[in-house]
Structure 1
Amino acid sequence: MKAVLLAAGLTLAGASAQAQQMRDGPPEAPPLPALSINAQMSDAELGRALDAWVGGLNGEGRFDGAVLIARDGRQVYAGAFGLADRAANAANRIDTRFPLASIGKVFTAIAIARLEQEGRLRGSDTIAQYITDYPTALSRTATIDQLLNMQGGIADIFGPPFRDADKSEFTGNHAYYEFVAHREPMFAPGAGEEYCNGCYVVLGEIIARVSGMSYEDYVARNILAPTGMTSTGFYRAGALPANTARFYGTPRGPGTPVVDVGEFHGAAGSAAGNIYSTLGDLLLLDNALREHRLLNPQYTAQVLRGEPESARATRRIGFAGGAPGVNTMLHGNGAWTLIILANREPPTAEAVDQVVFPLLAGAASR
C-alpha cells in the first residue's frame, strides 16, 4: 500500500463564507509574538514560558484551547486557556474533549492498515470488491490506495447540498456515506488528486463491510480500547459528555463577534473527521503508533509515511484539522510531540504550531 497523505488537512468545512474561505486556505492572521524557548530548557522553564506566551494570546482573544508538549513520549507541559462552553462559562481544561476535524482521518488510516496487516484487504482492492452495491459507476474502480491518497475523486461531503441538509441526520459514518456515494464524483479514479473527505467516508464504509461492525465500533474496539484512549469517541451533538468543547468562530468575518458555529457540523463525526479526543489521549495514540503497539513496523511506517523502524519510530509527522470553530494539530518526530486543540477556527492552532515546534525540534529538513 502506498504512503498515506494525511498532513495539513483543512477539512470538514461546513457552510457560510467562512467555510468557503477555508477551502481556499486558512485565513491570514497577524504574526504571533516571539517566543523564547529551546530544547535545552527544563520542564519547568518550558512551562513558565508557554503559560505566559499562550496565556497572552488568549488574553488578546487569539487562542482558546489546550496545548501539550512531550519529550521522548513523556508529557512535560500541558496548559488550557479560554472557554470550552461560553454559554455556561465553562473553562477549557487539559482533559477537555475537543473535536479533532481531519485528524480523525488518522484513525481511518490506522484501521485500514490493521485490516491489511491481518490480510483482510489490500491497497490495490477496489471499492466494488467490498461495496458491491456502490451506486456511482465511475467510482467503483477506485482502489483503497487511491482513496487513502486523495486520488479517488469521490465527491466532497461539504458544499451547498450539505449546507441545506438536515444536520441531525448525520449521525455516523454510514449516514455520510449514503449522502456522498450518490453524488457525482469530482473525477475518475486516478485522474487527479484533490483533498477528499468523501474518500475517507467511503474507506469508513469499507472498514464496516470488511469487519462486520460499524466504523465507529471498529475504531473503538481496535484502536481506542487497546491504546487506553478512554476519553475519545464519536459523540453526538445534543448528548455531549461533560467537559467537552463547543465550536466557536466568526462566520460573519474577522472582527465580528465569536459565536457557537456547531450548526455547520453534522450531529456526529465520520471517517473523514470530528471524532472527539483530549491532549492525553492523543499522546497515547502517538506513543502507541511509534512503539508499534497498534501496527507492526511495516504498517506503522505506512501510516507515518516513512521507512520501517524497529525501535521507537522517529518519522516527522504533522497532522492537522480545521473547520468552523475547530483547529487541531498533532506534530511530532519521536523526540518531541506537540498537540494543540483549539475550539476556534483556523489558523488558531496552526499558527501556534508554526512558532513552537521548530524551536524544539528544528526546522523540517524537507
Structure 2
Amino acid sequence: MLGLIGASGAVLATGALAGAASAATPGDLRAFDQFLRDQGFSGSYLFVHRGRTVAAGSYGRANDAALNGPDTRFAMASVTKLFTAVAIAQLAQARKIGYGDKLGAFLSGFPAGIAETVTVHHLLTHTSGLGDVFTMPGYLAEALSWTSVDQVMNGTTDYIRRATLGFPPGAGFEYSNAGYHLLGMIVARVSGQSYYDYVREQVFRPAGMTSTDFYLRPQWHADPRIAHPYAVQPSGEYLDSIDRRLYVGTPAGDAFSTCADMARFARALQGSTLLDAAFTPLTLGGKVPLGPPTTGPAPAVPPVAFQCYGPMKTLANHQWVTGHSGGAPGTSTDFQMYLDSDWVSVILSNRDFGAGGVPPWPAKARELITA
C-alpha cells in the first residue's frame, strides 16, 4: 500500500519527451522535462504547437494501483471554471442570458442588495464581492459530510445565500469560488438540465473530451485511472487527501481531465467549435485589470494581466497567454493557450505545494515557450 510518498522525491517515470524539439520550438523543452525531474514532479504535462505534440511526460504515482501516464485523469481544481464560463457564453450566444442580467433574475432566496445588484458579468470577472465559499464559517466541515450531488449543489448555494458582500459589485476584485458556483446554478436554471449534464453534452462532447467528467468521491477512491491527490504534510511527506475533497466537484472546481483532453478543449475553443466567431474573442478578451499576485514572491516588474470571462490573460515576453491554473489539497494544475504563436501547455499534478504554495513549473513553461 502506498499510504505515503516520500518528500525527497524519488519519482517513477512512465514517459519522457514525446517529441524532439524542432527548429520551430522556442526554448529548450528538454530542459523542462529535466526541470520536472529535478523538482520531484508527480503528474503529466503536454506541450502542443500548431496541433502537434512537441513534448509530453508523466512521472510519479497516480494511486496505489497505477503510475501516472498520458491517460491518467487528474482533478482540475479551478481550471474547471473555464468549462462553466463556456457554458455561460453558449447561453449568452443563444440569447438566453445577458451579461448585464441580475442574479435575482435566475436564482431566488438572495437578499435584495445582492439579487438586484450582482450581474452575470460580476460573477464571471470575480467582481461580485461574494468571495470564497470554502472560507465561509462551517461550510467545509458540513460539505465534507454530503453524500449526494444535490446536497453539494443546493447546500453550497444555501451557504452563499447567507453570505454578505465584501464590497459593492464592480467596486473591487476578489477571486470567487462562490461566484462560479452560482454561474453553474444559472446554467442549470436556464438550460433546464443539471449543470453536469449540460457541460457533458455541450462542452465535453463537442470538444471530443472523452476522458473528461465529474466523478463522485467513491469513484475517485476506486478507479485506478484517476490520480489520487497527495497533499504535503508539515513533515514534508505527501498523504492521500481524497477525503478532504467534496463528494462531487462543483462549477467552481474539480472536474477531471487528461492533458490530451485539455489540448482538445483548447482547439475546440479557439476553432469556434464551442462558441461562434463573435463570442470566442468576447470570452477570451480582457475585462478587468489585475494587480500583482497575492501569493509567492513579488515580481520584479508588475504584470500586465486581465481577468477575462473565465480565463486570465497575461502578457509574457510580448505574447498574450490566456488560461487558468488551479490548486487544492493534493492538486496543482495549469492550462495555457498562447493564441498568437499557437502553443498550448497543460501541466497536471497530483501533489500540492502546501497552503499558499506556488508550483514553479507554470512559470518555467511560460519562460521556455515565449523565449
* TM category, shorter: 0.7 to 0.9
Q: Which runs of 5+ in 2 are unaligned?
A: 1-19, 288-318
AA of the residue aligned to 1:140: A
Q: Which SS does the other structure have where 2:126 is aligned?
A: coil
Cα deviation digits, residues 8-50 of structure 1 (max 9, x gap) = xxxxxxxxxxxxxxxxxxxxxxxxxxxxxx975578x967554
The residue aligned with 1:234 is 214
The residue aligned with 1:186 is 166
**Structure showing greater relative contact order (alpha-carbon pairs closer than 8 Å, 6 or more residues apart):** 1
Cα deviation digits, residues 316-344 of structure 1 (max 9, x gap) = 31311111111100122132111000111
- Preserved CA contact (<8 Å) 1:72 1:336: yes
The residue aligned with 1:55 is 37
The residue aligned with 1:32 is none
**CA deviation after TM superposition for structure 1 residue 263, in Å:** 2.6
Call closer, same or farther: CA 1:223–1:249 in 2, change over 3 Å. same
1:207 corresponds to 2:187: yes
Call closer, same or farther: CA 1:42–1:156 in 2, change over 3 Å. closer
Task: Supply the distance in 2 between the matched residues of 1:95 and 1:138 (Cα, whole angstroms).
Answer: 47
Task: Supply the distance in 2 between the matched residues of 1:114 and 1:42 (Cα, whole angstroms).
Answer: 35
Q: Which runs of 5+ in 1 are unaligned?
A: 1-37, 308-313
Q: Which SS does the other structure have where 1:75 is aligned?
A: strand
- Work out which of the residue numbers 67, 72, 86 in structure 2 matches 1:110: 86
- Work out which of the residue numbers 67, 74, 77 in structure 1 matches 2:45: 67
Please say which of residues 352-361 and 325-334 is displaced more in the overlay.
Answer: 352-361
Task: Supply the distance in 1 between the matched residues of 2:286 and 2:122 (Cα, whole angstroms).
Answer: 18
- Work out which of the residue numbers 343, 347, 351 in structure 1 matches 2:350: 343
Q: Which has the higher strand share?
A: 2
Call closer, same or farther: CA 1:324–1:118 in 2, change over 3 Å. same
Task: Supply the distance in 1 between the matched residues of 2:185 and 2:266 (Cα, whole angstroms).
Answer: 25
AA of the residue aligned to 1:340: I
Task: Supply the distance in 1 between the matched residues of 2:59 and 2:200 (Cα, whole angstroms).
Answer: 29
Cα deviation digits, residues 177-208 of structure 1 (max 9, x gap) = 23322333333323322111100111111111
- Preserved CA contact (<8 Å) 2:43 2:349: yes
Call closer, same or farther: CA 1:82–1:127 in 2, change over 3 Å. same
- Work out which of the residue numbers 133, 137, 141 in structure 2 matches 1:164: 141
- Preserved CA contact (<8 Å) 1:232 1:281: yes
The residue aligned with 1:258 is 238
Task: Supply the distance in 1 between the matched residues of 2:273 and 2:79 (Cα, whole angstroms).
Answer: 19
Q: Which SS does the other structure have where 2:62 is aligned?
A: strand
- Work out which of the residue numbers 81, 87, 96 in structure 1 matches 2:59: 81
The residue aligned with 2:334 is 329
AA of the residue aligned to 2:274: L
The residue aligned with 2:76 is 100
- Work out which of the residue numbers 230, 246, 256 in structure 2 matches 1:248: 230
- Work out which of the residue numbers 123, 138, 141 in structure 2 matches 1:147: 123
**CA deviation after TM superposition for structure 1 residue 271, in Å:** 0.7
Equivalent residue runs for 1:28-39 within 5 Å: none
Task: Supply the distance in 2 between the matched residues of 1:69 and 1:76 (Cα, whole angstroms).
Answer: 6
Q: Which SS does the other structure have where 2:53 is aligned?
A: strand
Call closer, same or farther: CA 1:166–1:130 in 2, change over 3 Å. closer
Q: Which SS does the other structure have where 1:91 is aligned?
A: coil
Task: Supply the distance in 1 between the matched residues of 2:130 and 2:286 (Cα, whole angstroms).
Answer: 26
- Preserved CA contact (<8 Å) 1:200 1:272: yes
Cα deviation digits, residues 237-258 of structure 1 (max 9, x gap) = 112343101111124x3x4321
The residue aligned with 2:301 is none
Call closer, same or farther: CA 1:126–1:39 in 2, change over 3 Å. farther
**CA deviation after TM superposition for structure 1 residue 106, in Å:** 0.4
Q: What's the Cα RMSD here?
A: 2.6
- Preserved CA contact (<8 Å) 2:66 2:224: no
Equivalent residue runs for 1:269-348 within 5 Å: 269-305=249-285, 316-334=321-339, 335-346=342-353
Please say which of residues 333-342 and 49-58 is displaced more in the overlay.
Answer: 49-58
The residue aligned with 1:20 is none
Please say which of residues 292-301 and 339-348 is displaced more in the overlay.
Answer: 339-348
Task: Supply the distance in 1 between the matched residues of 2:143 and 2:202 (Cα, whole angstroms).
Answer: 31
- Preserved CA contact (<8 Å) 1:248 1:258: yes
Call closer, same or farther: CA 1:72–1:306 in 2, change over 3 Å. farther
- Preserved CA contact (<8 Å) 2:71 2:258: yes
**CA deviation after TM superposition for structure 1 residue 56, in Å:** 3.1
Task: Supply the distance in 2 between the matched residues of 1:239 and 1:75 (Cα, whole angstroms).
Answer: 30
